[in-house]
Amino acid sequence: MAGEEYTMKNKWLLYGIYVIIIALLVYVGWSTKLFGLIKTTPTGNSKDAEWQAVFLTNGQVYFGKFSQGMGQYGTLKNIYYLQVQKAVQPADQATQDQKVTLVKLGNELHAPMDEMKINRDQILFYENLKKDGKVVQAIDSYIKNGPTK
């Protein structure tokens, strides 16, 4: 009888240890995911006055003002993107001219709002743009003069 009582106490002690270990694993897993999410995604370090280029996993690049929230989605506002226009007549590949234009989001046929929620899993990286760069100069020109025809 004494041996059985000793074994029951050991079982309950072992179950208690298992419960504590599982609880710790759940806590560590949850906190690691939370902190990992915040750490591996764009942070609030970007200044409001700066423009960012956001590079997505599908190859698209958007320019605008990027901010993060606490959830799974970041927000991009004042959005622009580059559009490549090829010549209508096929020409020699070496001489084929491509015209790259800056497009303001919202001017498309479906008229989207000028705000985009981007899943953090789709963001490869983002970078702040210099004020004297060609993209920021084109954005400033668009803001001052409207779209170029």
Each residue's pLDDT tens digit, 85-125: 876 666 666 556 678 888 899 878 888 899 999 999 999 99
Q: How many structural domains does the chain have? A: 2
Contacts of residue 61, Cβ cutoff 8 Å, sequence gap at least 6: 53, 54, 55, 81, 82
Across the chain, mean pLDDT equals: 80
Q: Are residues 76 and 122 in the same domain?
A: yes
Q: Are residues 36 and 57 in the same domain?
A: no
Give this prediction's pTM: 0.61
Answer with the residue of higher pLDDT: 102 or 147. Answer: 102
Q: Are residues 95 and 133 in the same domain?
A: yes
Q: Are residues 14 and 80 in the same domain?
A: no
**46: in domain:** no
Q: Are residues 28 and 97 in the same domain?
A: no
**136: in domain:** yes
Beta strand 61-68 pairing with 73-86: antiparallel
* Structural domain range at position 12: 1-40
Q: Are residues 33 and 91 in the same domain?
A: no
Is a pLDDT exceeding 90 seen at residue 133? Answer: yes
**32: in domain:** yes
Q: Are residues 30 and 58 in the same domain?
A: no
Instruction: Report the pLDDT value the prediction gives residue 12, as an integer from 0 to 100.
Output: 84
Q: Are residues 30 and 61 in the same domain?
A: no
**For residues 28-43, average pLDDT:** 55
Q: Are residues 71 and 113 in the same domain?
A: yes
CATH number of the CATH domain containing 79: 2.30.30.100
